[in-house]
Structure 1
Amino acid sequence: MKQVYSDVIQFRGNHYDFGYMQGELLKDSPILSNREKQWAGRRKRHFNINEQEAIDMLSSFIPGMRDELEGLADALQMNMHDVLRDFGGYYIDYARSGCSILTGTQFLIRNYDSHPSGYEGRYMIYQPTDIGYATIGPSMQITGRIDGMNEKGLAMGYNFVNRVGSGDGFICNMIGRIILETCSNVEEAISLLKEIPHRTTFTYVLLDSKGETFVVEASPRSVVARKSNISTNHFEMLTEENRYRMDDSIRRQQVMAGQPNETDVYSAFQMLNNKGNEVFSDKYGAWSGTLHTAAYIPKERKAWFAIGGDRKPIIFDFNEFLNGEKVRIKQVKGYLDYDKSFINM
């Protein structure tokens, strides 16, 4: 068993200062050097951007992001082209992963399944003072979010479906950040997902404080929304976008579908996090091992988080942070049945 951890990073302020603060932290972190080793040889082939187009798209969909990227660039002494390529979330390639999501009218529970060597170990709590909603959730590619909730009670998670037939557009984690920072409810998020250009094929699961929950199937070619409380790694409507092999995705969907409709949040969390329930995965070498289980409870503005399996969640009271209190938790620790660490270690 390998002990791993996620740092809890909280900030109140404008986007430029938020970016600069993150850049200062990254100087003392192994994240960038570890990622540099992983990306060697791939950048020129897969990480191509049109700088002005990327800036224009970010300015259109998430206005504060350009300032955040400029803060990162200044702190790290990088030029804007390289910052956009590494942190901008537009055009950049994305590794395959698993993932399972279960929602009720009161909660969204999500297993994030991937490889430890691509996981940043950064749990972000940010309240902007210039533009956008406050958000809570784990980061991906520094500026993006894997899942999360905002101050309006909108919760979001996504599941990988396919990378074949990718197009020009945003990748999933930046889309997640845009949803959380700019949308107040499910309806606004669905409208955004229909407007924004998608790089690859994912489902986006949405829940708001009214208890409305939708699964949005999104590819570079089409976007459709359907009422559902379960999502794994295949589409139900845009079936032509699915991968050839869907056996494990269907199996996990069936396991979750067998649960009672009125499951409470803790039972639902255990269902995904406990190793004996056949949803949690130890397949880390195949990029489909469960790294974290997250829960979001919109009406209470609470977020639960655990790393690894068979864990009790750490509970964050987002309302307290929104009311000006400081989060006391510095790290969330856990164990993985694998020999590789997160890239923050």
Structure 2
Amino acid sequence: MYHLKFKGKHYEIGYKWGKKLFENNFLLLQNIPFTLTKEHKDFAKKSEVYYNKFFPEVLEEIRGVADGQNTNYTLILSFLLSMYCIIPSCNCSCLVLKNDKNIILGRNSDFLTKLEKLYINCIYKLSNNYSFIGNSTSFIEIEDGINEFGLAVGFTSIYPIVIDYGFNSGMIIRMILEKCKNVDEGIELLNKIPIASSQTFLLADISGEIALVECNCKKIEVYKNFNENSYFISTNIFQSESMKKYNKVDYDNWFSQEKYQTLEKFLNKNFKICNVEEIKKLLAGENGFMCQYDRKTGKDTVWSSIYDLKSKKIWRVEGNPKRKKFIEEDRFKF
């Protein structure tokens, strides 16, 4: 996993990083594991209109990367904006809980082993938006993270059977972390922007608000905690009755239901007394299937994150938590 630290405005961040990669003979477009088609380009062009309206800063960063790489802005845009939509990826699990002593968001990122050396942990110290730390399988986009105000968010992608133009999962998390201070602001943003991809979002803030959002281009379902003790979980299947019709049947979603059942069984019994150490064990598969992949299949848990909002600590495993230990992150304070 690469560790990156960015500071400044979006364009200069993108340009410096793109140029540094270029000077080290690393060309981003040559490391995309598929061919960009007319469909990707058309989708990005029509979605770009909404990015210009709601999140122009990230387009500036993408243009900076393209300029630093001496490459085509449209092609990089086509790759990034079509992620999780035309290029589905449905493999992760996430949980959030609140009890008398803890507010915790945890997430396993499950993906392809052949790309694991390219995964990124990054800190953004932005001069014009909120600063944050996050992790991603794709540059610029973020899949879980926390910002300077103590708003944590993680997603699980769901195979899209309906797609429209707009924002994808990784860009939505970027925008939430950069523009929202708490769970309510995050939900307000989700209700305002056009959503392209299918996914769940789990959110938690330092005040103790937690929420689950299941959404796609057709519908948004929001579930918030109403009790002192509560939890939400998500994998790669919509669970609410109103969203189940958007699940793709007979698709390889990487043991999504098994992981959901492991989380549900453990948290239903233990969430009122659960702490960080118990969540570490849960994500490491000590209570049922979570990360016990056969690496020979090319699949594995490639990182695991825990955001401990009460203690203001971040824990991360760079690899499979069944085989590696969680390490405390001390470079970012919230």
Q: Give the TM-score category using the shorter length.
A: 0.7 to 0.9
Q: 1:258 and 1:138 mapped to 2: Cα distance?
A: 27
**Partner of residue 316, structure 2:** 305
Say yes or no: does 1:216 pair with 2:213. yes
Q: CA deviation at 1:20?
A: 1.2
Q: 1:279 and 1:161 mapped to 2: Cα distance?
A: 17
Secondary structure, aligned partner of 2:239: coil
Secondary structure, aligned partner of 1:258: helix
**Partner of residue 264, structure 2:** 257
**Partner of residue 280, structure 1:** 291
Check conservation: 1:150, 1:180, Cα contact below 8 A. Answer: yes
Instruction: Give unmatched runs, 5+ long, in structure 1.
Output: 1-5, 323-345
Q: 1:275 and 1:29 mapped to 2: Cα distance?
A: 42
**Partner of residue 192, structure 2:** 195
Which amino acid in 1 is paired with 2:63? E
Please give the per-residue CA displacement for 1:76-112, whole angstroms capped at 9, x wherever unaligned: 1123322322345689633332111122221111011
Q: 2:9 and 2:67 mapped to 1: Cα distance?
A: 15
**Partner of residue 239, structure 1:** 244
Q: CA deviation at 1:9?
A: 0.7
Q: CA deviation at 1:158?
A: 0.8
Report 1:138-217 matches (<5 A). 138-217=135-214
**Partner of residue 341, structure 1:** none
Report the aligned-residue RMSD.
2.6
Say yes or no: does 1:84 pair with 2:77. yes
Secondary structure, aligned partner of 1:295: strand
Which amino acid in 1 is paired with 2:79? D
Mark the CA change 1:45 to 1:319 in structure 2 (over 3 Å): closer, same or farther. Answer: closer
- TM-score using structure 1 length: 0.81
Instruction: Give unmatched runs, 5+ long, in structure 2.
Output: 225-230
**Partner of residue 74, structure 1:** 67
Mark the CA change 1:76 to 1:247 in structure 2 (over 3 Å): closer, same or farther. Answer: closer
Secondary structure, aligned partner of 1:145: coil
Bigger drift between 269-278 and 215-224 goes to: 269-278
Bigger drift between 250-259 and 272-281 goes to: 272-281
Report 1:35-50 matches (<5 A). 35-36=31-32, 38-40=33-35, 42-49=36-43
Mark the CA change 1:318 to 1:213 in structure 2 (over 3 Å): closer, same or farther. Answer: farther
Bigger drift between 299-308 and 180-189 goes to: 299-308
Q: 1:90 and 1:312 mapped to 2: Cα distance?
A: 30
Mark the CA change 1:285 to 1:62 in structure 2 (over 3 Å): closer, same or farther. Answer: farther
Q: 1:93 and 1:145 mapped to 2: Cα distance?
A: 18
Say yes or no: does 1:7 pair with 2:12. no
Q: 2:73 and 2:26 mapped to 1: Cα distance?
A: 21
Mark the CA change 1:65 to 1:289 in structure 2 (over 3 Å): closer, same or farther. Answer: same
- TM-score using structure 2 length: 0.84
Mark the CA change 1:60 to 1:46 in structure 2 (over 3 Å): closer, same or farther. Answer: closer
Please give the per-residue CA displacement for 1:135-173, whole angstroms capped at 9, x wherever unaligned: 101134311001111111111111122222222122211
**Partner of residue 92, structure 2:** 99
Q: CA deviation at 1:275?
A: 6.3
Of 17, 38, 51 in structure 1, the residue corresponding to residue 12 of structure 2 is 17
Secondary structure, aligned partner of 2:53: helix
Mark the CA change 1:12 to 1:108 in structure 2 (over 3 Å): closer, same or farther. Answer: same
Bigger drift between 204-213 and 94-103 goes to: 94-103
Q: CA deviation at 1:25?
A: 3.3
Q: 1:169 and 1:256 mapped to 2: Cα distance?
A: 31
Q: 2:137 and 2:325 mapped to 1: Cα distance?
A: 23
Secondary structure, aligned partner of 2:38: helix
